[in-house]
Amino acid sequence: MKSKTTMAVNIQPVLLCGGSGTRLWPLSREGFPKQFLCLISEQSLFQQSVLRLTTLRGQFAPGEELLAPQIVCGEEHRFLVTEQLREIGVDPAAILLEPAGRNTAPALTMACMAARLEGDDPVLIVTPADQTISNQTAFSEAILVAITEAEKNNIVLLGLTPDRAETGYGYIQVEKHDSIDQNLENHLLQMIPVLRFVEKPDLYTAQSYLEETGYFWNAGIFVLKASVWLSSLLKFRPDIYQATRLAWEQREVDAKFTRPGKSEFFSIPGESIDYAVMEPITSAPSNQDSQTQLASVFMLPFSSVWNDLGSWDAVWQCLPRDANNNAKHGDVLIKDCKNTLAHANYRILSLVGVEDLIVVETADAVLVTQRYRSQVVKNIVGELQTNGRSEHITHRKVHRPWGWYDCLDEGDRFKVKRIQVNPGASLSLQRHNHRAEHWVVVRGIAEICSGDKTTLLNENQSAYIPIGETHRVANPGITPLEIIEVQSGSYLDEDDIERLHDDFGRI
């Protein structure tokens, strides 16, 4: 479908990659949150979200251009973002790095400031990076219609007709009139004024929304001009606007990475897009004042199977299921079970004679919960935090910009790791004050720098790095390098690394 507008305009996709996905623990961790997981396909939710937007290219009128996407993510996830973008062949316009989470309003504000650097005022397609949408055609058609309205300095968001009393989603209430078609047979003709935003309701309230017309699920997908967001934020939350502007003015640019001023960023109040602008703009007593013409807010219903995969129950709903409504992933055996999800990652997982359960196995944790209670898994994460544990932060297998390592075993004064180094990559030049390391090459070729010597090791050869020795391992080959590392010493934690040089800016 071609947009009917004749005015040239740039279209800027913006993907918001914050959040830790605590309700999908133990698979989702702070260091590897749900947007980077492959939960229902071979591509991660982040990769699906990027491709969903880049697929729009070529569907606009002459003179309109879909720009490369902007990504807003946490500093600690920058290498996950770049690697997953590389895997799908997408070169971003910029990756904006947040030193701490401040919710979606500051994230969108930074994206708008970045979009206006050259004086342009593009239409932004703002979407979370952790959703699944099954109907690309319906999504594309809805976005193209929304862009036409956003060019008029209005705000458009996408809404979905609820098919159950869902307590895990926010809702949008729109004006009721005869043309509203809850079945969405003619959804592209319906640009409906928004009355209010409703937070996640209790079950009784959600049931009442389901029985009425005029309530839709909030997909968190917005289409609006950069200038419209900035002017609206300045009116309703000038504190967020000014604090974000100060952090943006102190930014540093490193290739595709843009880092706002760190100390200034910590002063930004945290707030969501809905709370900061959408709720006050729809409840304003008048659509204008003496100085500012406020944007109108419309909702465009679109028909698709949509899910934000906010819980294991939501994952179960999206996966293929057998005749007894069982879904499984990995090495799983199921016998005489119903309505159950079994998710295995490292070992065989067998379930017999159970119903309505979620069972998730990882290398260092197992979750068992009733399916309808999977929303409260986040309470387990809170307890891990309170108790000072680390299972909510990282997996046993930890991804690094050069590859990954997997901690196979550890005990008093020893730790054993399996390490994979990507072709052409190298670890930092470093030394340890409390441990020695023994390396055995099991696959590939290793270039070992130890002190003032550099050697090449082939499979089945080994090296010893004494305590305090400056060292580095690199992969000069074209295939992954795999080594087994045995650490020994009085202190073995990761903070016993003194980096002297690093290709990834981690000193």
pLDDT tens profile 212-252: 878 999 999 999 999 999 999 999 999 999 999 999 999 99
Confidence of residue 169 (pLDDT cuts 50, 70, 90): confident
CA distance 291 to 287: 11
Q: DSSP letter string over 319-384?
A: S---TTS-EEESSEEEES-BS-EEE-SSS-EEEES-BSEEEEE-SS-EEEEEGGGGGGGHHHHHHH
Report the pLDDT value the prediction gives residue 7, as an integer from 0 to 100: 54
* Lowest mean pLDDT segment, chosen from 53-67, 89-103, 179-193, 270-284: 179-193
Instruction: Output the pTM of the full model.
Output: 0.89
Cβ-proximal residues to 51 (8 Å cutoff; 6+ apart), any chain: 43, 88, 90
pLDDT for 58 equals 79
Query: From CA 362, how far away is CA 133, in angstroms rounded?
Result: 27
Find the mean pLDDT for residues 300-328: 91
Instruction: State both tokens at 443.
Output: 């696959």
The answer to whether 214 touches 79, Cβ cutoff 8 Å, is: no
Residue 134 has pLDDT above 90, yes or no: no
Asked whether the predicted pLDDT for residue 283 surpasses 60, the reply is yes
**How many Cβ atoms are within 10 Å of 420's Cβ, its own excluded?**
19
Across 39-43, 425-429, 502-506, which has the greatest mean pLDDT? 425-429
pLDDT band of 507, cuts 50, 70, 90? confident
Instruction: Of 120, 113, 154, give the one whose Cα is nearest residue 294.
Output: 154
- The pLDDT confidence band at residue 186, using thresholds 50, 70 and 90, is very low
Q: Residue 308: which pLDDT band, with cuts at 50, 70 and 90?
A: confident
- Give the whole-angstrom CA distance, residue 67 versus residue 64: 10
Give me 371's structure tokens.
């399916």
Model pLDDT, residue 290:
45
Q: Does CATH number 3.40.50.150 belong to domain 397-501?
A: no
> Would you state the pLDDT for residue 187?
46
Q: Could you state, in order of their start, the residue ranges of all structural domains in the chain?
A: 10-307, 313-386, 397-501
**Residue written as token pair 């009128």:** 61
Q: Per-residue pLDDT for 5 more than 60?
A: no
Return the sign of the alpha-carbon dihedral for residues 380, 21, 163, 47. negative
In three-state form (DSSP H/G/I as H, E/B as E, the rest C), the secondary structure along 218-274 is EEEEEEEEHHHHHHHHHHHCHHHHHHHHHHHHCCEEECCEEECCHHHHCCCCCCCHH
3-state secondary structure of 109: helix
**Is pLDDT at 285 greater than 50 in this prediction?**
yes
Burial class of 70 by CB neighbour count within 10 A (0 to 12, 13 to 18, 19+): buried
Q: How far apart are CA 249 and CA 238, in angstroms?
A: 16
Would you say the CATH fold of 397-501 matches that of 10-307? no
How confident is the model over 155-167, as a mean pLDDT? Answer: 88
pLDDT above 90 covers what percent of the chain?
75
Structure tokens at 171: 């809702």
Confidence of residue 471 (pLDDT cuts 50, 70, 90): very high
Residues 391 and 364 sit within 8 Å (Cβ to Cβ):
yes
* Per-residue pLDDT at 286: 55
Contact 18, 128 (CB under 8 A): no
Candidate from 14-23, 174-183, 327-336, 368-377 with smallest mean pLDDT: 174-183
For the chain, percent of residues with pLDDT exceeding 70: 94
Please name the fold of domain 10-307: Spore Coat Polysaccharide Biosynthesis Protein SpsA; Chain A (3.90.550)
DSSP 117: T
φ/ψ (deg, to 5) at 151? -65, -20
Per-residue confidence band for 180, with pLDDT thresholds at 50, 70 and 90: low
pLDDT of residue 291: 55
Residue 463: strand pairing partners? 439
**pLDDT of 284:** 75
Among the residue ranges 1-10, 78-87, 442-451, the one predicted with the least confidence is: 1-10
Assess whether pLDDT exceeds 60 at residue 438.
yes
Whether the CB-CB separation of 261 and 249 falls below 8 Å is answered with yes
Give me the mean pLDDT over the 328-335 stretch. Answer: 96
Rounded distance between C-alpha atoms, residue 243 and residue 237, angstroms: 10
Mean pLDDT value across the chain? 91
Q: CA–CA separation, 83 vs 15, rounded Å? A: 16
Between CA 164 and CA 483 the distance in angstroms is 51
**pLDDT band, residue 477 (cuts 50/70/90):** very high
Nearest to 41 by CA among 347, 420, 348, 307: 307
Name residue, tokens 């749900």: 34
Predicted pLDDT of residue 3 = 43
Other CB atoms within 10 Å distance of the CB of residue 431: 18
On the question of a cis peptide bond just before residue 320, with omega within 30 degrees of 0, the verdict is no
